[in-house]
Amino acid sequence: MIVTSTLHNHCDMCDGRCSAEEMIEAAISAGFTDFGLSCHSYAPFDLDYSIKDEATYLHKLAELRKKYEGRIRIAYGAEQDLFAPVRYRDAYDYIIGSVHYLRDNYGNYHTIDGSLADIMHTLDKVFAGDTMALIADYYGNVVRVAEEQRPDIIGHFDVIKKTNGGNDWFSEDDPAYRKLAIEAIRRTAKIGAVFEVNTSPLFKKLDLDVYPSPFLLKELLSLGANVMINTDAHCTEQLVYGVDQTIELLRDIGFRQIMLWSDGKFIKRDL
């Protein structure tokens, strides 16, 4: 197995469907040496999706590490939203920096990680139908999470395309879109974080490439950025979904190495 670690995983402490123990048992069965739990950081404006209490979450992580000692190493992670930074940063082994919302001028949050209807509503009400203005706002937030919060991992870089599997509201080939995405990835890459290649669009059958799309992965390769593969699993059946296919994709693009997490730190592994 090439990919022996997985760092972007949720459980029923946030919006995942399986318990942490179920996820970890599945990770042991799959042969991982290192498993990181990365529940959504506490977001008071969206408690359905985030953890309810950070201290309880950290306590649970400590309990899990102890319980599974000798069987698999448990890493303490969080998927930190731009608008919901963790309180106890030093308690974590790593932070995934992600954008899930846009915030309007009145302080209201609008998910970009929901349905097509959600995003169409936001496009209409907040951006007066200006697609590129919405996308520019999204990528502005991605750059902010990187530059202001310095995460260890950049989460699902172009998740803004999530609802666009049928090219319903923009084209990834549109030069205006590409310019926004490329400029954002160049700025984001400057902080030196690891970019995850997130396979969840494959699991969800969204008719989309992984995050980031191949044209962005090519840019990362030319920038010399480090990448890792994560499945963003919200349940056990998602834990390794799309990993083999993504290894092939990365090889085809020209990547020779990926990052793994091993015993508390990143290491490089040849592809």
Residues contributing to the site for Zn ion (CB under 5 A): 79, 98, 232
In the beta sheet, which residues pair with residue 160?
A: none
Which of 127/203 has CB closer to Zn ion?
203
- Least gap, CB of 151 to Zn ion (angstroms): 12
Closest CA to 160 of 183, 191, 137: 137
- Least gap, CB of 60 to Zn ion (angstroms): 17
Q: What is the chain's alpha carbon radius of gyration, rounded to the nearest angstrom?
A: 18
Provide the phi-psi class of 96: left if phi over 0, else alpha when psi is between -120 and 50, else beta.
beta
Q: Exposed, middle or buried: residue 265 (CB in 10 Å: 0-12, 13-18, 19+)? A: exposed
Return phi, psi of residue 181, to 5°: -70, -45
- Least gap, CB of 8 to Zn ion (angstroms): 6
Tell me which H or E stretch contains 252. Answer: helix 243-253
- Least gap, CB of 81 to Zn ion (angstroms): 8
Which of 109/271 has CB closer to Zn ion?
109
Taking the CB of residue 64, how many other CB atoms lie within 10 A of it? 20
- Least gap, CB of 233 to Zn ion (angstroms): 8
Which of 34/79 has CB closer to Zn ion?
79
Which of 114/174 has CB closer to Zn ion?
114
Which of 34/232 has CB closer to Zn ion?
232
